[in-house]
Structure 1
Amino acid sequence: SQSSVDNMSCPSTPSTPTSPIPYEIQIATEDDRESILNFLQTFFFRDEPLNSYLGIITEETPRCLDLENFSLKELNNGVNLKAVYNGKIIGVSLNGILERGWLGKDDPYKHGDTKFGIILDLLERVARESDPFKKYPDCEKAMTVKILSVDGTYRGKGIAKALMAKTRELAKEHGCGFMSVDCTSHFTACALKNLGFELHYSLKYVDHKVNGEVVLNPAPPHVAVTVYTQKID
């Protein structure tokens, strides 16, 4: 059930926060493509539970162009963010704006016969079944967070929280009524829960079957893909 997914234990924040560092949150653009790609290759592509389960990125196949293009496809939309410390990217929030009725619009990234296609098929199902606009009938626009990732060295310094706060600010400026995040990772879900987001939808990986077969079964604690939302006041 949804509640059992939502009640899975989240690691509590360490009681001794690590010492702060003087980082800045900045808008990311197409000019940052190379450095964001390097960041994602180091901290996100390999560790994200579904990529990891399917072995999309390995020593033998260190790159997946479909995954890269999908992740970076809207870099110039004005709502992507980077956290920068000493000239180096230490966190990203790759965001997009959705409008009511966006479901069913053509997405050029359909590759059902590839490993990455298996993930896209899941995300498409989640989008269709969860459509968060149903939860907010008075909202016409939403901010979606596609990738939220922080350099492992700097975790515990509130960087994800700062990236989300700035994302919320941008969402407000663009007239978005709520924020929505698809979480394939239990840890991302925990981070959002701690920021006051609410569980809107969940699908256990064992319940997502293709031709009767479970196609994604990452290691615990990643048991479900979830959608967390938050109204913007």
Structure 2
Amino acid sequence: MGANHSDRAIHFLRKFFFKDEPLNICVGLLDEPGSTCAELERYCLESIQDGVSLMAVTPDDQLVGVCLSGIVKKEDAEDSKGDSLEECANPKFKKILNLLTTVSKECDIFQRYPHLDTVLEIRVVSVDNAYRGQGIAKALFDQTKKLAKELSVPMVRVDCTSHYSAMAVARLGFQPIYTLQYSHHLDNSGQPVFQPEPPHSCVKTFIMHVPT
């Protein structure tokens, strides 16, 4: 997926991902019908610019799946999400970015695996509701792993904020290496920042080693 596909991908995500993602729902990010979040869309567009995102299309060119990924280098790891957090003007989306930043710091992938210089990070995966259960997400993950191998990136990482996405990723053979319970992620007054509906109780980081 290139920059020329950005508008098409964002339109798809508005329809099938933004309004259904548990944390987006939890903070009321898109409460009004037809509302958008410029900061969330900018976050997605920045991933597309890395050139490792994928689309799934039917033979008649209908877009049915999107997988947004980015390359994270060891020397940039500490600053990548922190910069976005500082620049975010949307208080609701800033809560989500703060969680992702916390997960990255506490998981500390490059400290945990000191031989790594780069990681391919899957950030958003979404499939058209009408095409779910047909192996599209698996195909997007498989192609992402192939892309990592072609680029000599030895690890693919994904943070799952949804119980269902975590189960799906585990079925694909990814290993869980870090878990943060939402009940343990607190605001300044000691209250949980996120209280999503069950069964969503935590964010999990998964990895897969890629032979290069």
Tell whether the structures are fold-level matches, with TM greater than 0.5. Answer: yes
CA distance in 1, matches of 2:141, 2:84: 28
SS of residue in 1 equivalent to 2:30: coil
Which residue, out of 51, 57, 71, partners 1:78?
Answer: 51
Shift of 1:112: 7.1
CA distance in 1, matches of 2:162, 2:149: 26
1:79 and 1:95 in contact (8 A); partners too: yes
Name the % identity.
38
2:85 and 2:98 in contact (8 A); partners too: no
Count of aligned pairs: 206
SS of residue in 1 equivalent to 2:10: helix
User: Partner of 1:95 in structure 2?
Assistant: 69
Matched, 1:31 2:31: no
Shift of 1:228: 0.4
User: Partner of 1:206 in structure 2?
Assistant: 183
Structure 1: gaps of 5 or more residues: 1-27
CA distance in 2, matches of 1:109, 1:208: 17
Shift of 1:77: 2.1
1:70 and 1:109 in contact (8 A); partners too: no
Deviations, residues 53-81 of structure 1 (Å, cap 9, x unaligned): 11111235611101111122132322110
Larger proportion of helix: 2
CA distance in 2, matches of 1:113, 1:213: 20
One-letter code of the match for 1:104? E
Matches within 5 A, 1:1-233: 28-60=1-33, 62-85=35-58, 86-105=60-79, 107-110=83-86, 111=88, 114-211=91-188, 212-233=190-211
SS of residue in 1 equivalent to 2:176: strand
SS of residue in 2 equivalent to 1:94: strand
Give the structure-2-normalised TM-score: 0.92
Deviations, residues 69-108 of structure 1 (Å, cap 9, x unaligned): 1122132322110001121211011011111233322523
Shift of 1:188: 1.1
In structure 2, do the counterparts of structure 1 residues 61 and 43 end up closer, same or farther at CA, with 3 Å as the change threshold?
A: closer
Shift of 1:135: 3.3
In structure 2, do the counterparts of structure 1 residues 55 and 192 end up closer, same or farther at CA, with 3 Å as the change threshold?
A: same
1:112 and 1:118 in contact (8 A); partners too: no
Structure 1 runs of 4+ off > 4 angstroms?
none
2:48 and 2:70 in contact (8 A); partners too: no
Shift of 1:126: 0.5
Greater shift in the superposed pair: 29-38 or 60-69: 60-69
Deviations, residues 181-213 of structure 1 (Å, cap 9, x unaligned): 011111111111000001110000010001112
Give the structure-1-normalised TM-score: 0.84
RMSD between superposed Cα atoms in Å: 1.5
2:179 and 2:203 in contact (8 A); partners too: yes
CA distance in 2, matches of 1:108, 1:197: 27
